[in-house]
Amino acid sequence: MDKVFLMIILSLSLVTCKNKTEQTDYPSVDLWKNPTLTADERVKDLLSRMTLEEKISQMTNHSTAIERLGIPEYDWWNECLHGVARAGKATVFPQAIGLAATFDEDLIFRVASAISDEARAKYNAAQKKGNTKRYMGLTFWTPNINIFRDPRWGRGQETYGEDPFLTSTIGIAFVKGLQGNDPRYLKTAACAKHYVVHSGPEAIRHEFNAEAPLKDFYETYLPAFEDLVKKADVEAVMCAYNRTYKLPCCGSGFLLKELLRDNWGFDGHIVSDCGALNDFYDGHNVVENAAEAAAMALKAGVNVDCGRVYPSLKEAVEKNLVTEAEIDMQLSYLLRTRFRLGMFDPPELVPFTLISEDVVRSDENISLSREAAVKSIVMLKNNGALPLKKDLNDIQIVGVHGNDAQVLYGNYHGLSENAVTVVEGIMSKIGPGTKADFRQGTLLAREKDNPIDWTSDAAATADAVIAVMGISNLIEGEEGASIASAHKGDRMDIKLPGNQVKFLKSLRSRGDAPIILVVTGGSPISLVEVEDIADAILFVWYPGEQGGNAVADIIFGDANPSGRLPVTFPKGIEQLPDYENYSMEGRTYRYMQEEPEFAFGFGLSYTTFEYFDLILNSENITPNEILKIEVSVKNTGKRAGEEVVQLYLTDLEASARTPMYALKGMKRVHLDAGEAKTISFELVESDFALVTENGEKITEPGSFRITIGAASPSPSCVKKGSAIPVSKEFTLK
């Protein structure tokens, strides 16, 4: 009887404990583990339990475990520029510059949402295995929102191009897709990088002082960072390697405190670029040693050091360079991010723990990658050669990248078990009665060792030649990644490599078959020497794992090209200012006086469009009024297509230097053959503001011009086949 009574009491106790758990009645002794408290309350409690050494151990990218508190190790370093990167299997989307070429913020949001789904699925799987290695976390150092100010920069491929508005628009959509919309938890933590004036040269980035005129600093280099903080609530910001206004970006209180936190209200965490704090004494020579570098960065506001300098914070405390209270303040931002990611909460409370591993490279995500690749491809020329018929008798595929899977990826990428090359994409389209062959014919950037040329002879009798040329990540990229670059990833010549030009001339000299030139690359390539040789030119960037299928979709007309250039293609470096000069004068479509080879926003279609009936709600407005704009667009061709409608503003009476044109709106619209639609835009006072030479943002009365069309208002666009834009002037009182 006593045993029975004891069993009843034990059962009742277990039920009581279970009910307490369900009611989330957490013991007060471990407040930081209580998910019903605010993140700030939990951070405060956790900090109170940590020793100085333990606090410091959490402030490098590889945060070690604190076993006595039950805190697992965590590496903050992860990447997802165009898919979860460096962590194995993942859907590979087009490189960032290709995503920008879609001019499609809705698509970018869907891509980023798919990436964050895969990120959570891979994290969940890694957690089950106890895998806490680098690139397996939830803090992604993406997106790169630096302005692609000069085509010589090897990392321009990681950006969204040269325009502040486009960069902000695409960046905001990407951050929102990565971080999700749960009211309590982040799906992943996004990071705006590299803050702030940072876009080459790669070879001297660890010692270079990038001083932009104040006007350009506030007008061009800062806006995307401010927008991602204020409009997307980005969780992290990465400070750059270089100095700006003489101080290292990661040691500048002006950048990290005054602008970022005080003026913009940023409440996330700040991470250094990897090794940037070492540069304080190894490159910039602003301090003597690691302890002084750690103190400088901490006081400026850096929360996590990607590197090995912050362990010297212990020495900095001992030397009274910093206090433990200052360490507490900066560590609190990091801990808050981990709480927002749900890392210390029961899995059942965090909705993203339910994301299945099946989402990784799902059919839906692979299809989305193909859609993004198709929309990113820019047709630069077409004399009627495209689209090709699928029943041609003889198709010859040539060129260094025709069957190269590596060129699909760009940098900072994941891996696919089924990346589709251009050859494979084309083969999926043609029937068994069509003769087709692939011969590379040329090397990437040097002459062949064997001078015999059988490739040109084979192409001479073909019905069509598809030449897949361009550059790759071997030539352009980050400082140490581009192993074929003589300039640490940068290019000092933006022409197509000379051996490829020679090969294309040989192809043309041997026969009259139409040459379809497919160009890969992540930055502008001058095609002046071959533009007349090719019958059609497609610029395909680094198009992701479905790149070959997307190229074939365009070539054979199963898709209508609709990509637009997010960066100007100059005719050559003679049209560019000095590479180390960070002034925007003479740069990008906004300030470049000379006519480029291909202008910003340019891209052709298999159909034609007409713009008409541009209407403003008023031609005289006050600063507090909304300017409402309508324009009609008609598909005047014989097949359906998507048009990227672009709105540009010109200040006609500015008291300071202003852009010749400034993109202020863009919308993708699908139009069937013969269909017309009315597109609406709105502009507000901030759109009319100018930045003075001393960096002050003001709104002043005067005349303005609205121009709406298929590309920037460069005369070269209409000459090369863009629709004629429409424009109208108005007055701001």
Do 197 and 234 contact (CB within 8 A), yes or no? no
- Picking from 529, 495, 533, 528, the residue whose alpha carbon sits closest to that of residue 517 is 533
Convert 454-468 to b/e letters by CB count within 10 Å (16 or more is b): ebbebbbebbbbbbb
Determine phi and psi for 432, rounding to 5 degrees: -70, -15
Structure tokens at 536: 């059609």
Residue 230 CA to residue 175 CA, distance in Å, equals 12
Distances (CA, A) of 439 to 262, 430, 468: 59, 18, 11
**3-class DSSP assignment, residue 474:** coil
Determine phi and psi for 648, rounding to 5 degrees: -120, 145
Do 220 and 147 contact (CB within 8 A), yes or no? yes
Beta bridge partners of 532: none
Residue 161 CA to residue 245 CA, distance in Å, equals 24
Beta bridge partners of 620: 731
What sign results for the dihedral spanned by CA atoms 37, 38, 40, 43?
A: positive
Look at residue 21 in the predicted model and tell me its pLDDT.
37
| Residues 6+ positions from 244 with CB-CB distance below 8 Å | 196, 197, 209, 210, 211, 212, 252, 255
Domain ranges of the chain: 1-27, 28-359, 367-591, 609-732
Structure tokens at 493: 């010549």
Beta bridge partners of 691: 697
Do 444 and 484 contact (CB within 8 A), yes or no? yes
Neighbours of 22 (CB within 10 A): 8
**3-class DSSP assignment, residue 246:** coil
DSSP string, 699-733: ---EEEEEEEESS-S-HHHHHTTPPPPEEEEEEE-
Look at residue 515 in the predicted model and tell me its pLDDT.
97
Look at residue 28 in the predicted model and tell me its pLDDT.
53
Architecture of domain 367-591 in this structure: 3-Layer(aba) Sandwich (3.40)
Residue 431 is classified by DSSP as -
Residue 385 CA to residue 533 CA, distance in Å, equals 13
Residue 266 CA to residue 254 CA, distance in Å, equals 14
Residue 681 CA to residue 91 CA, distance in Å, equals 34
Look at residue 8 in the predicted model and tell me its pLDDT.
37
**3-class DSSP assignment, residue 192:** strand
Neighbours of 557 (CB within 10 A): 16
CATH: 2.130.10.10, 2.60.40.10, 1.10.600.10, 3.40.50.1220. Which one for 609-732? 2.60.40.10
DSSP string, 627-658: EEEEEEEEE-SSS-EEEEEEEEEEESS-SS--
| 416, 102, 478, 204 alpha-carbon torsion, rounded to 10° | -170
Structure tokens at 214: 């104040």
Residue 651 CA to residue 702 CA, distance in Å, equals 8
| 691, 692, 693, 695 alpha-carbon torsion, rounded to 10° | -60
- Picking from 385, 396, 450, 394, the residue whose alpha carbon sits closest to that of residue 422 is 396
- Picking from 141, 87, 136, 83, the residue whose alpha carbon sits closest to that of residue 114 is 83
Distances (CA, A) of 381 to 177, 384, 507, 708: 34, 9, 18, 22
Residue 313 CA to residue 331 CA, distance in Å, equals 12
* Amino acid at site 391: D
Tens of pLDDT, residue by residue over 56-69, are 999 999 999 999 99
Distances (CA, A) of 173 to 85, 145, 179: 19, 12, 10
Structure tokens at 404: 């190269």
Look at residue 458 in the predicted model and tell me its pLDDT.
87
Residue 255 CA to residue 192 CA, distance in Å, equals 14
* Amino acid at site 527: L
- The residue count for the chain: 733
Neighbours of 290 (CB within 10 A): 22
Beta bridge partners of 99: none
What sign results for the dihedral spanned by CA atoms 555, 560, 566, 572?
A: positive
Catalytic residues: 273, 476
| 81, 84, 85, 90 alpha-carbon torsion, rounded to 10° | -130
**3-class DSSP assignment, residue 188:** coil
Distances (CA, A) of 141 to 136, 194, 437, 513: 13, 9, 42, 47
Residue 594 CA to residue 270 CA, distance in Å, equals 40
Structure tokens at 645: 């409608």
Residue 339 CA to residue 39 CA, distance in Å, equals 6
Residue 59 CA to residue 354 CA, distance in Å, equals 29
H-helix or E-strand spanning residue 571:
none
Extract the residue ranges of the chain whose pLDDT is less than 50. Answer: 1-24, 27
Q: What are the helix (H) ranges across 180-237? A: 214-216, 223-232
The three state secondary structure string of 673-704 is CCCEEEEEEEECHHHHCEECCCCCEECCCEEE
| Residues 6+ positions from 702 with CB-CB distance below 8 Å | 651, 652, 653, 654, 731, 732
Do 38 and 96 contact (CB within 8 A), yes or no? no
The CATH number of domain 28-359 is 2.30.110.10: no
